Amino acid sequence: MLITDRFGKIGSQPKLEPGNPYEQVEQMIAYMKKRSGAQVQFEFHPAVLSVTPLLSAPLFDWVIENLIKNALDAMEGKGVIRIESHITTEGLVIDVTDTGKGIQPSHLNKVFKPGFTTKKRGWGLGLPLSKRIMEEYHNGKLFVKWSEAGKGTCFRLILPLPAKA
């Protein structure tokens, strides 16, 4: 049902509503904690929000879940996933950082291309769909902030914030 709801929203213009992205992040962390081992630590450091961004909760959930799943895969069962946020002139910035194996420099420009994957299983659609959800539906951004072999990767999401009334 959840997957059907999410995929039903991709390709059609979703309704964006004021929402608390931190609640979505916390729900996804709780959900993914149950699916990860005891050797994985989650840290969440939210910034104070003075205005509420507009978002499609099911699609935003999908982006966060996909980034966490990729982080878990990269860490191979042990490490830290740190989610931090701060406010900039661009909007709400959310960094999802893992202590995994990192992305090879030759792959950095391919990770958002449909069909690209380094996994034995998967279709290579998670990051391209996540990027589309952020850019086309939320008018935001998703990109690799940094990645280093053996140290990890940081994906950055930017959600625009409405002007204060």
The half-sphere exposure of 100 on its side-chain side, counting CA atoms within 13 A, is: 25
**Higher per-residue pLDDT: 164 or 144:** 144
Is the model's pLDDT at 9 over the cut of 50? no
pLDDT in tens, 82-111: 999 999 999 999 999 999 999 999 888 899
Is the model's pLDDT at 6 over the cut of 50? no
Per-residue pLDDT at 11: 57
Domains for the chain: give ranges and CATH numbers.
2-10+41-159 (3.30.565.10)
| Ramachandran bin of 163, using left for φ above 0, alpha for ψ from -120 to 50, beta for the remaining angles | beta
Per-residue pLDDT at 1: 43
Beta bridge partners of 142: 157
Count each helix (H run) and each strand (E run) in the chain, helices first.
4, 7
Per-residue pLDDT at 12: 67
pLDDT in tens, 118-134: 776 777 889 999 999 99
Is the model's pLDDT at 141 over the cut of 60? yes
What is the rounded radius of gyration, in angstroms, for the C-alpha atoms of the chain? 15
pLDDT in tens, 62-74: 999 999 999 999 9
Q: What is the pTM of this model?
A: 0.90
pLDDT in tens, 152-161: 999 999 999 9
How far, in Å, CA of 16 to CA of 36, rounded? 31
